[in-house]
A and B are shown apart, each in its own frame.
Chain A
Amino acid sequence: MKNKTLLILILLFFTFCFIVFFKGLKNSNIYIPETAQNKDLEVFSSKDLFTGTQVPFDQIFINSDFYILNIWASWCLPCRNEHDLLMQLSKNKSIKLIGLNYKDKSKNAKKFIEELGNPYSIIITDKDGIISIRLGAYGIPETYIIDKNKKIIKRIIGPLNKKLLKEVDLIVR
């Protein structure tokens, strides 16, 4: 009788573990902290990629209802893949696209833009990656949708795709 109870308990335990792990398989493996959305954007300033002049925060985020801040680099392959979608996004006049060039050589970054086109209204540089960390970024590419009050509405970790682009469109509308 005692052995039977023990067997049932062990079986129950393993079934429980199986269910937990099986459910876990379907979860997204991208960890997005709750604090990442609906919060104020960190104030920062940086150098313009093309002119090399320091651009203050108020001049980066100016004259738009929505801003899309995209962190990219010329050495990042997924950034190259999402570039076409950013070019599409740039046609939307209610959005100001801001590029944050992450740990890149300016020569390579300029070449990348020359080759694939420039979807951004302004490109600022993040040579040592500190601005990205202050924004809460994990890596690149990463995209932030910011409203006119400089609040982060949505954050997309990884490259954009058509489905995400539709979501962005809905938010901006």
Chain B
Amino acid sequence: MKLLNFFLAIIFVFCFTIGNSSEKKNELKNKISKNIRCLICQGQSVYDSQSDFAISVKLLIEQKLDKGLTEDEIYKFLKNQYGQWIVYDPEFNKNTVILWILPILLFLIGGAIIIKKLIIKK
């Protein structure tokens, strides 16, 4: 009886570990597919879309995760195939410099105008 309990405990731990790891993999897959743009859809991520393109990309992500690739490696692979446009979070380089700096500039200019107006009012 003790032996049976022991084996049942091992099986329980084993199943729990497998379930936990597949859940983690699924979470990571969802996270990556939310950051990937569906290139043939209008404003949808791969996660949201059910197009052929999105379904295949999701399968590819799963395959790459099974092979042991990291999140960054998967983004790098997709960027290499489809260009920067496929990721929602473009990296900082000479082509995207305006994209990154413009909001900060606008914020600073706006802030300066507001402060100036407040000072004048006082």
A residues near B, CB below 8 A?
A: 31, 33-36, 39, 42, 103, 128-130, 132-136, 138-139
Contact = CB atoms under 8 A, between A and B. Distances in A.
A133 B83 contact: no
A33 B39 CA distance: 11
A2 to B, nearest CB: 16
Interface in B42-84: 52-53, 55-57, 59-60, 63, 79-84
Nearest to A136: B81
Q: Which 10 A-B pairs have the closest CB atoms?
A: A33-B83, A129-B56, A136-B81, A133-B56, A133-B60, A130-B60, A35-B83, A128-B59, A130-B59, A33-B82
A139 to B, nearest CB: 6
Contacts of A31: 39, 83, 85
Contacts of B59: 128-130
Contact of A130 (B63, B80, B82): B63
B40 interface: yes
A132 B56 contact: yes
A133 B40 contact: no
Contact of A34 (B40, B63, B83): B83
A129 B40 CA distance: 15
Contacts of B81: 33, 35-36, 42, 133-136
Nearest to B51: A139
Contacts of B53: 129, 133, 138-139
Nearest to B83: A33
A74 to B, nearest CB: 14
Most buried by B among A33, A34, A132, A136: A33
Interface string B82-93: 111100000000
Contacts of B39: 31, 138
Contacts of B84: 33
Contact of B52 (A34, A103, A134, A136): A103
Given A128-B56, A132-B56, 12 more contacts: A31-B83, A33-B83, A33-B85, A34-B83, A35-B82, A35-B83, A42-B81, A130-B63, A133-B53, A133-B56, A133-B81, A139-B40
A129 B55 contact: yes
Most buried by A among B40, B63, B83, B84: B83
A7 B71 CA distance: 51
A42 B83 CA distance: 15
6 contacts: A35-B83, A130-B56, A133-B56, A134-B81, A135-B81, A136-B81
